[in-house]
Amino acid sequence: MGMSIEDLAPFTAKPREHVGALRRRPGGTVFDRKPLLLGDDGALIIVSPGALATAIRLRLAQFARDAGAKYFQRALLREALERVDETRLMRMPIDAPAQQVGEFAIRTAVIQIEPGRWVHIFAVADGFAPGDILKPTKGARALSRMLRHAIRIAHANAKKEGDYRQGLTLVMGCGWGRAMSMPGPGRLPRGWDLCGADCADFATIGANKSGNIVDLWRLLTLERVMAGRGFRLGYVNGVLNLFSWWIENRHQLIPEHAIRLRPGDPIMLSPGEVAAARVAAQERLGSRSLPMPVGGFDRVLRKQADTYFPNAASDRQYVSIGAIRSTRFMGAVDAGAPCWILVDAERSRSSLGWSYQVWSAVMDWAARLIRVLEDDRHAALPASPFSVRLHIIESEGDWGEPPEERLHSGLARTVRRLQHQLHRPDLRSRMERILEMRRQRGRTRPRRRARGRYGFTYRGRYRFL
C-alpha cells in the first residue's frame, strides 16, 4: 500500500503497553487507540479491527488540537452546514457568526420560510478535547441553557412580525465521532416544535424527493397528532428512521395493511429503514469527485436531480459545487475522461441568466455528442481529463453602427484567411467594393434576429476558446 512501519507507528502498540488490557472496560484499552501490534518477527497484527476507524479519528483529533482546535472546529461546522445547504431542505446560515460555548462552537439563525412560519437553526460542533471517544461530551448543561435562551430569542423575534403562527427549532450536530447528549430545553413556547439530528441525517433527508423543510414539518406534526391519539412510534435511529418509514408507507405513519392496529399498540420501526433513504439520496444527488485537467479533484453534484424526461445524457452531467458558490458556471460530462465545460468569466460579457442558458445547452449537446462518439468504434476520446472554455457575448439593446476600425480589422482578417485558402489576389478589392456599396445603402448595421415563439429574443453568440 506504499506505507512503511514508521508511518503506522502512531497506531502500533508496543509489547508492554497491552499488559492488563483484558481488565479494562471497552473504550479504555490501548487497542482502542493503537489497534496494531508489532510482532517479534516484524509482522503487523490487527488486534482490534473494529477500532481502526476510532484510532484514525483520535489521531485526527490530536492533530486538530496541535494545529488549532477552534479553527478546525468552526471549519467542520461550516462544512457540515454546506452539505445540508446543497440539498433541497432549506438555506443554511453558512455565513452566520460562530459563538463559543465551552468546548462547543455554535451557529444560530432564524429564517422565515412562509408567512407566519419560522425555522430556528441551532448548529453545534463538538470540540476536540482529549478523552474517551465512547464517553458523551461534557458541558451539556451549558449547551442546554444556551439552546433554551436561543429558542426564547427566536420566538420573540418571530412574534414581533405580527403574523407568527408556528416555529420549529432544528438542532444540528456534527463532530469527529464522539457521542453528544444534552438535557432538553424544557417547556417550549406555544406553537413551537423541536427536532434534533446529525447534520448528515438532515442532508440525507433533504436529498430525497420529499425532503424539504415543509415536508419535514408536516411529518413532525403528524407524529404529534398520532401520539395524542395513543399511537406511539419507536425508532432508534432518530428522525431519519422516521422519515424513511414515512416515505416507504406513501407518506403515512400507519401502513395501509395494518387494519387491526389499535391505540396503545407498539409500532417499532426497523433500524435498517435508513439504508433506503441514504441510497436514494446518493442516487439522486450523485455526489462524487472528478479529476481536473490541471490536476487534483473537484467535488460535483448531478446537474439535474429531478427531470420529467430522464435520459442517459442527463445522468452524466455534473456541476462543480465550488464554482456555483462563487457564481461561476463549470460542469463536467462524465465519460472515460471527464470533459469539463466552463464559462470564461473574464472574457465574457453577458448576464448570469444568458450565460447559464448557453452553458446548460452546451453541456446537453456535449453529453449527447460524447455518447455518440463512444458508440463509434472509429472515434477515440481523450484518455485524460480535458476542458472546453466558453466565451459568451450578449448584445444589449440597439446594436448601433460598428466601429470603423473593428469593421476593417475583422474584414482584413477574413480577407487574409480567404486569400490564403483560395489564392485570389483580387479578392480584397472586390470585398472592399462590396463593403462600400453596402455602406452607401445603409446595410452595415446587423439585422435584429426574429423574436422567438415564446417571447425570447436570441441575440447572443458564443464560441469555443
Task: State yes or no: pLDDT of 455 exceeds 80.
Answer: no
As a whole number, mean pLDDT of residues 11-33 equals 65
As a whole number, mean pLDDT of residues 256-268 equals 83
As a whole number, mean pLDDT of residues 368-395 equals 81
- At residue 265, the pLDDT reads 82
Task: State yes or no: pLDDT of 220 exceeds 50.
Answer: yes
As a whole number, mean pLDDT of residues 248-252 equals 87
Helix axes 238-248, 213-228, angle to 10 degrees: 90
Task: State yes or no: pLDDT of 232 exceeds 80.
Answer: yes
Q: Give the whole-angstrom CA distance, residue 456 versus residue 24.
A: 74
pLDDT band at 423 (very low <50, low <70, confident <90, very high): very low
Which range among 52-66, 69-83, 396-410, 447-461 has the greatest average pLDDT? 69-83
HEC string of the chain equals CCCCCCCCHHHEECCCCCCCHHHCCCCCCHHHCCCEEECCCCCEEECCHHHHHHHHHHHHHHHHHHHCHHHHHHHHHHHHHHHHHCCCCCCCCCCCCCEEECCEEEEEEEEEEECCEEEEEEEEECCCCCCCCCCCCCCHHHHHHHHHHHHHHHHHHHHHCCCCCEEEEEEEEECCCCCCCCCCCCCCCCCEEEEEEEHHHHHHHHHCCCCCHHHHHHHHHHHHHHHHCCCEEECCCHHHHHHHHHHHCCCCCCCCCCCCCCCCCEEECCCCHHHHHHHHHHHHHCCEEEECCCCCEEEEEECCCCCCCCCCCHHHEEEEHHHHHCCCCEEEECCCCCEEEEECCCCCECCHHHHHHHHHHHHHHHHHHHHHHHHCCCCCCCCCCEEEEEEEECCCCCCCCCCHHHHHHHHHHHHHHHHHHHCCCCHHHHHHHHHHHHHHHCCCCCCCCCECCCCCECCCEEEEC
As a whole number, mean pLDDT of residues 304-332 equals 83
- At residue 464, the pLDDT reads 32
Mean pLDDT for the chain overall: 79
As a whole number, mean pLDDT of residues 6-34 equals 67
pLDDT band at 179 (very low <50, low <70, confident <90, very high): confident
Average the pLDDT over each of 41-50, 180-189, 322-331 and give the range with the smallest value: 41-50
As a whole number, mean pLDDT of residues 274-291 equals 89
As a whole number, mean pLDDT of residues 380-402 equals 72
- At residue 47, the pLDDT reads 77
Average the pLDDT over each of 66-70, 194-198, 251-255, 442-446 and give the range with the smallest value: 442-446
Task: State yes or no: pLDDT of 195 exceeds 80.
Answer: yes
- At residue 319, the pLDDT reads 94
Task: State yes or no: pLDDT of 256 exceeds 80.
Answer: yes
Pairwise pLDDT comparison (57 vs 386), residue with the higher score? 386
Pairwise pLDDT comparison (231 vs 53), residue with the higher score? 231
Q: Give the whole-angstrom CA distance, residue 396 versus residue 228.
A: 62
pLDDT (tens digit, 9 = 90+) per residue, 123-142?
999 887 766 565 666 667 88
- At residue 297, the pLDDT reads 93
As a whole number, mean pLDDT of residues 285-312 equals 85
As a whole number, mean pLDDT of residues 215-221 equals 92
As a whole number, mean pLDDT of residues 164-186 equals 85
Task: State yes or no: pLDDT of 437 exceeds 80.
Answer: no
- At residue 422, the pLDDT reads 44
As a whole number, mean pLDDT of residues 317-335 equals 90
Cell numbers describing residue 58: 483520535
- At residue 185, the pLDDT reads 84
As a whole number, mean pLDDT of residues 261-287 equals 85
pLDDT (tens digit, 9 = 90+) per residue, 97-125?
888 888 889 999 999 998 999 999 999 99
Question: Is residue 300 packed enough to be buried (19+ CB in 10 Å), middle (13-18) or exposed (0-12)?
Answer: buried
